[in-house]
């Protein structure tokens, strides 16, 4: 099979050059040996004496030039790529590009006789004796065609390959012959994008919230790795889209500020950032009731987050009072209550400030909350002086009057055994008990017989004999003056 007209044109050219010799030399087969004999004859009419050595087709002793005897003067190798193509015209990085083609191989033989006459013939050659090399995106791939002449291969386009128009070139060679063919295609590189959506409109994520990471333009149906203080994985869908929810921890939260998200897929890498902010804590103290000197009180309140108003559990609350600190942790509902806090018995009556603040990981510390505590005087009337006035008729009632210091206080118990406490007004004198021979009412132990006029008085009834008798300061009975024990109540007298 002939792939070009080149050998034929050469033959025509050679015959034109040799035509005079054909006319001069006799066509007989018994030509003179001096003109043509043996190998000399062969070489004399070889058109390419420096390139080819003709094969002797008659014996060396032959004395004649046989015009019917031809030998191979030249061989022309032929190869041709009939088809070459790529599977499609547009590819993405990471995709496999498939190429294919066919090749034909043959030989053109030039035959001449000793007179320089010649002709050509074609000889088929198996394509497997040829070789094909495909150049594609900087790579070179060697192939051997099949016996039918077909060849094919594939190449995975690197993920780093930029967008552009490219050409694949196939070159077939057979001995000294070669042929080339090309096919064009386009690479469209991935251009991934990332978007972050916050749970609030503050353009920041707060501990306990989630952020949503969304991507488009990624390699379809492939695992994606996400790194952000922790590692996550997800998979893109058939369009290269993915969505990933990332929690912002409330326990051991991310530090406040900017954080980076690194997303990788194959050798695609993209970085996106997001912001973490903290809410401020706010402490509220409950109102405190007045406390008497030396008594205890309990500080209580709640902790909330500014911006949301939600209560905050597990917050550390510190209460400051008179230079001392008292710590407590808020419960699940954000409230707190300290253990009883004592007041110093030497503290002066007045108003005192109580401070409280709160801290918690994932929140900014609170400002100090202030509450005023009022300390009132401690009422102490453990000893009551009694003045006994003579000249009172026997059986008359005695009235015990007590002067209460100014300032609120709990009413003292001055009458053990009674069922109720008297109502007193600070700064006034009140009758707290009446004693006399008829009632025998107890007014409490520890009363002194000495009294100061104007302070506390018992108005006695008439004594039997003021010179020989007196009242028992405990039960009011008439007893002999100087007695050590009261015969009625049995209490030892002072």
Name the pLDDT band for 381 (thresholds 50, 70, 90): low
For the cut 70, the answer to whether the pLDDT of residue 36 exceeds it is no
Percent of the chain with pLDDT over 90: 48
Considering the domain architecture, whether residues 96 and 28 belong to the same structural domain is answered as yes
Mean pLDDT over 48-75 rounds to 58
Name the pLDDT band for 476 (thresholds 50, 70, 90): low
Considering the domain architecture, whether residues 219 and 257 belong to the same structural domain is answered as yes
Give the per-residue pLDDT at 142: 96
User: What separation in angstroms does the CA of 60 have from each of 51, 57, 228, 345, 457?
Assistant: 22, 9, 93, 149, 177
Considering the domain architecture, whether residues 446 and 475 belong to the same structural domain is answered as yes
pLDDT tens per residue, range 439-460? 444 444 444 444 333 333 444 4
Which among 218, 200, 219 has a CA at the least distance from the CA of 210? 200
Question: Could you give the CA distance from residue 82 to residue 80 in angstroms, rounded to a whole number?
Answer: 6
For the cut 90, the answer to whether the pLDDT of residue 285 exceeds it is yes
Give the per-residue pLDDT at 308: 87
CATH code, domain with 13: 2.60.40.1930
pLDDT tens per residue, range 125-173? 899 999 999 999 989 999 999 999 999 999 999 988 999 999 999 999 9
Task: Classify residue 1: in a domain, yes or no.
Answer: no
Considering the domain architecture, whether residues 93 and 179 belong to the same structural domain is answered as yes
Considering the domain architecture, whether residues 17 and 127 belong to the same structural domain is answered as yes
| End-of-domain residue from the set 275, 296, 314 | 275
Question: Could you give the CA distance from residue 186 to residue 63 in angstroms, rounded to a whole number?
Answer: 70
Considering the domain architecture, whether residues 83 and 143 belong to the same structural domain is answered as yes
Give the per-residue pLDDT at 49: 45
pTM for this model (two decimals): 0.52
Between 97-111, 200-214, 250-264, 465-479, the lowest mean confidence (pLDDT) is in: 465-479
Give the per-residue pLDDT at 118: 79
Considering the domain architecture, whether residues 385 and 359 belong to the same structural domain is answered as no
Give Cα 123 distance to the centre of its chain: 72
Considering the domain architecture, whether residues 209 and 349 belong to the same structural domain is answered as no
Task: Classify residue 151: in a domain, yes or no.
Answer: yes
For the cut 80, the answer to whether the pLDDT of residue 432 exceeds it is no
CATH code, domain with 335: 2.60.40.2550
Give the per-residue pLDDT at 465: 61
Count of structural domains within the chain: 4
Considering the domain architecture, whether residues 310 and 390 belong to the same structural domain is answered as no
pLDDT tens per residue, range 398-423? 444 545 445 444 444 444 444 444 44
| End-of-domain residue from the set 376, 411, 440 | 376
Percent of the chain with pLDDT over 70: 67
DSSP character string of 120-175? EEEEE--GGGSEEEEEETTEEEEE---TTSEEEEEEEPPTTPPSEEEEEEEEEEET
| End-of-domain residue from the set 240, 275, 310 | 275
Better-scored residue on pLDDT, 362 or 52: 362
Which among 134, 132, 188, 174 has a CA at the least distance from the CA of 3? 174
Considering the domain architecture, whether residues 259 and 117 belong to the same structural domain is answered as no
Considering the domain architecture, whether residues 100 and 145 belong to the same structural domain is answered as yes
Helix (H) or strand (E) holding 181: strand 177-187
Helix (H, G, I), strand (E, B) or coil at 40: helix
For the cut 60, the answer to whether the pLDDT of residue 233 exceeds it is yes
Better-scored residue on pLDDT, 218 or 416: 218
Considering the domain architecture, whether residues 157 and 87 belong to the same structural domain is answered as yes
Between 7-16, 23-32, 138-147, 348-357, the lowest mean confidence (pLDDT) is in: 23-32
DSSP 3-state percent helix, strand, coil across the chain (nearest 5): 5, 45, 50
User: What separation in angstroms does the CA of 411 have from each of 378, 386, 407, 415, 421?
Assistant: 11, 19, 11, 11, 7
Give the per-residue pLDDT at 463: 53
Range of the domain at 225: 193-275
């Amino acid at each position: 099979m002939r792939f070009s007209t080149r050998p034929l044109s050469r033959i025509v050219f050679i015959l034109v050059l040799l035509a005079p010799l054909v006319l001069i030399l006799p066509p007989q087969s018994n030509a003179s040996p001096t003109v043509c004999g043996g190998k000399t004859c062969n070489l004399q009419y070889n058109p390419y004496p420096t390139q080819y050595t003709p094969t002797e087709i008659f014996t060396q002793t032959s004395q004649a030039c046989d015009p019917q005897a031809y030998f191979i003067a030249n061989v022309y190798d032929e190869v041709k790529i009939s088809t070459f193509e790529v599977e499609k015209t547009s590819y993405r990085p990471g995709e496999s590009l498939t190429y294919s083609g066919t090749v034909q191989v043959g030989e053109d033989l030039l035959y001449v006789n000793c007179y320089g006459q010649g002709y050509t013939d074609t000889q088929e050659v198996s394509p497997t004796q040829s070789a094909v090399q495909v150049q594609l995106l900087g790579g070179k791939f060697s192939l051997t065609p099949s016996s039918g002449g077909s060849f094919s291969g594939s190449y995975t386009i690197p993920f780093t390959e930029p967008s552009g128009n490219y050409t694949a070139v196939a070159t077939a060679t057979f001995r000294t012959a070669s042929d080339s063919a090309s096919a064009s295609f386009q690479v469209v590189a991935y251009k991934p994008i990332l978007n972050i959506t916050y749970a609030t409109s503050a353009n920041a994520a707060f501990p306990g919230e989630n952020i949503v990471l969304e991507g488009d333009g990624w390699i379809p149906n492939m695992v994606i790795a996400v790194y952000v203080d922790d590692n996550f994985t997800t998979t893109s869908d058939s369009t290269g889209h993915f969505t990933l929810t990332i929690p912002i921890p409330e326990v051991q939260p991310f530090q406040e500020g900017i954080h980076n998200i690194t997303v990788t897929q194959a050798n695609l890498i993209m970085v996106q950032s997001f912001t973490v902010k903290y809410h401020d804590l706010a402490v509220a103290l409950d109102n405190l009731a007045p406390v008497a000197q030396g008594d205890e009180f309990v500080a209580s309140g709640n902790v909330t987050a500014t911006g949301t108003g939600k209560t905050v559990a597990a917050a550390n609350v510190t209460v400051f009072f008179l230079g001392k600190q008292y710590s407590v942790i808020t419960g699940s509902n954000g409230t707190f209550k300290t253990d009883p806090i004592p007041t110093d018995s030497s503290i002066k009556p007045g108003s005192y400030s109580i401070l409280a603040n709160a801290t918690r990981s994932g929140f900014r510390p609170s400002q100090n909350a202030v509450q005023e505590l009022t300390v009132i005087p401690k009422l102490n009337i453990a000893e009551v002086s009694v003045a006994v006035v003579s000249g009172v008729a026997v059986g008359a009632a005695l009235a015990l009057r007590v002067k209460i210091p100014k300032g609120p206080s709990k009413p003292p118990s001055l009458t053990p055994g009674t069922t109720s406490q008297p109502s007193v007004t600070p700064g006034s004198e009140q009758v707290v008990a009446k004693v006399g021979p008829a009632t025998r009412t107890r007014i409490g132990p520890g009363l002194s017989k000495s009294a100061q006029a104007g302070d506390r008085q018992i108005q006695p009834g008439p004594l039997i004999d003021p010179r020989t008798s007196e009242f028992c300061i405990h039960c009011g009975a008439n007893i002999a003056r100087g007695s050590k024990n009261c015969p009625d109540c049995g209490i030892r007298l002072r």
